[in-house]
Structures are given as structure tokens and as C-alpha cells.
Amino acid sequence: MSRDQQRLADYLAHILEAIERIERYTEDMAEPAFLESQLVQDAVIRNFEIIGEASNNIEKHYPEFAVEHPELPLAFAYQMRNAVAHGYFKVDFEIVWKTI
């Protein structure tokens, strides 16, 4: 595997790991519990940031991969990352929950 291919694989692994963490943090949780837990909210937001950054890097550095995989919402993931990273106290956690 070339270094370039390895970097793409790393980005995809980061996305997968972040998704798995979000699932693990919220697996036994209903929406009301999520909306009350700042700890879980913060953990989920951090992983959305990771997903968004990796997605943006894939789109920028591997556009052919992004075109070949339109089922991956890479642009949406980056937009979500920007919303949660820069929203500070304006993040709508009901939308975050629906995204999970």
C-alpha cells in the first residue's frame, strides 16, 4: 500500500472509530437522557468533529474517492463539524441526536 493509500485508509479508520465511539456512548440511551447529559453531548460532539475533519481531508486530498462513493455524506459531515465546533452554546442537541 502506498503512503497516499495509507493516508486515505487512516482517514477512513478515524471516521469508523469515531462512529463506533458515538454508538458506544449512546447505545443504551434515549433522547431525553442524551439531552440531559453534558458529558455524553461533549463526547459525541468531539467525535463529530473528528468525522468532519477526516471527511474534509478526504474530499480535499482524495476527490476521486469522494466521487466514487457518493453514498458517503462527506460534505454534510464537514458542515456538521463546523456547526458543532463553532456553535459553542448554540448547538441544537435535538438535531445532534437525530443525526446519531
pLDDT digits (tens, 9 = 90+) for 32-79: 999 999 999 999 999 999 999 999 999 999 999 999 999 999 999 999
Give the domain extent around 73.
3-99
Q: Which of 3, 21, 46, 81 is catalytic?
A: 81
Mean pLDDT value across residues 11-31: 98
Domain total of the chain: 1
- Is 86 annotated as catalytic? yes
Q: Which of 3, 14, 21, 86 is catalytic?
A: 86
Q: Which residues of 53-79 are buried (b: 16+ CB within 10 A; e: fewer)?
A: bbbbbbbeebeeebeeeeebebeebbe
- Is 21 annotated as catalytic? no
